[in-house]
Amino acid sequence: MSSSPSYRVAVVQAAPVFMDRAATVDKCIGLIADAAANGARVIAFPENFIPGYPWFFWLGSPAWAMQYMLQYHEQALVLDSPDYKRLEQAAADHGIFVCVGFTERSNGSLYMAQAFIDDQGQTLSTRRKLKPTVAERMVFGEGDGSDIQVHETDIGRLGGLCCWEHIQPLTKFAMYSKHEQVHVAAWPGFSLYTDVTPAIGGTVNNAVSRTYAVEGQCFVLAPCGMVSEDVIELLCHSDEARNLLKVGGGFARIYGPDGADLAPALPPDQEGLLYADINLDAVTLAKVAADPVGHYSRSDVTRLLFNSESRRPVADKGTSASSDAFELADEPETN
């Protein structure tokens, strides 16, 4: 007889109110309420949903893109700010776990962040994307090993990564070593460079999410952002730019630990929520077949050296760096 929890999950496919933090938080709260009303225990939002992904740095020179940076910086979300606390309150009011992607402002710097908030409205943690991708590096700083996180919760072991962190094999293996059961794979949307390369398109990157589910034997909630017409009007002032960035791009999915597609997809230009009912027994059964950090590993051949220590540039004088932060990912955890 199963003792594993069964519950409903919700995944967002939507566009933010671009570069309007308060309005996008309002939209998040509405989606949280809808998901909870439909019985979901957890809702997952796209990458940089608040206040939107900085598409402008893919559309012109850095000097041209800088015209948008002051507003983007001002509209970023600050931890423990009134708008952030509204998200925590919404999670508590509706009794639902929330994983939200946002642009984090920390004084003069921006980071690609995810927050994990429990159903009591308590933030379990926030994390930063370890390595921003290509043009993102002109906007965002980096995370560190402390941003590899998995949380023990009432709905299982919950973690997440952003976008192309899912094509970093060692980052994925570090996550697998923490025995994740439910993973949020947050994506910004797939309507950029659609005629240039498939590498950043929906088909390829959904394959990446699906592969993560099979490799890690976990459920993958893959929320996906979208580009709205007002973004095109704001950012695309030439035919060339309009060919590079288009309306739509929603490719949200939910995958099981055997790679099964668990929810009917929405059209790429339609906003909404995807739902699936899951049971964590499926994770156990998948790991019987192939546990990459357990019986299916070959630690005599390949091993991962994982530094989980925080490397923030400023630390309290009395804080000493731990010499025990390096873990071999195929060995049992000691904490």
**Does the pLDDT value for residue 249 go beyond 60?**
yes
**Would residue 308 count as lying in a domain?**
no
| 28 catalytic per annotation | no
- Quote the pLDDT of residue 4: 74
Q: Which CATH number does the domain housing residue 142 bear? A: 3.60.110.10
Catalytic one among 129, 172, 178, 287?
Answer: 129
Q: What's the pLDDT score for residue 323? A: 45
On the question of pLDDT at 87 being above 60, the answer is yes
> Is 104 assigned a catalytic role?
no
Residue 199 lies in domain: 6-289
Q: Is residue 251 part of a domain?
A: yes
Look at residue 185 and tell me if it is in a domain: yes
Residue 199: predicted pLDDT: 95
Q: Considering the domain boundaries, does residue 328 fall inside one? A: no
Mean pLDDT of 279-297: 94
Report in angstroms the alpha-carbon separations of 216 from 193, 276, 290, 294. Answer: 29, 19, 9, 11
Is residue 47 predicted with pLDDT exceeding 60? yes
Per-residue pLDDT reduced to its tens digit, 95-148:
999 999 999 999 999 999 999 999 999 999 999 999 999 999 999 999 999 999
Kindly state whether residue 323 falls inside one of the protein's structural domains. Answer: no
Any domain includes 63: yes
Comparing 33-47, 59-73, 148-162, 321-335, which segment has the lowest mean pLDDT? 321-335
Annotated catalytic residue, options 28, 163, 218, 224: 163
User: Distance from CA of residue 131 to its chain's centroid?
Assistant: 13
pLDDT of residue 335: 38
The per-residue pLDDT for 93 is 98
Average pLDDT over residues 246-272: 97
What pLDDT sits at residue 317? 72
Catalytic residue among 27, 47, 236, 327: 47
Q: Please confirm, yes or no, whether 131 is among the known catalytic residues.
A: no
Domain annotation covers residue 223: yes
Is position 232 within any domain?
yes
Mean residue pLDDT of the chain comes to 93
Number of domains in the chain: 1
Residue 198's pLDDT is 95
- Confidence band (pLDDT; 50, 70, 90) for 3? low
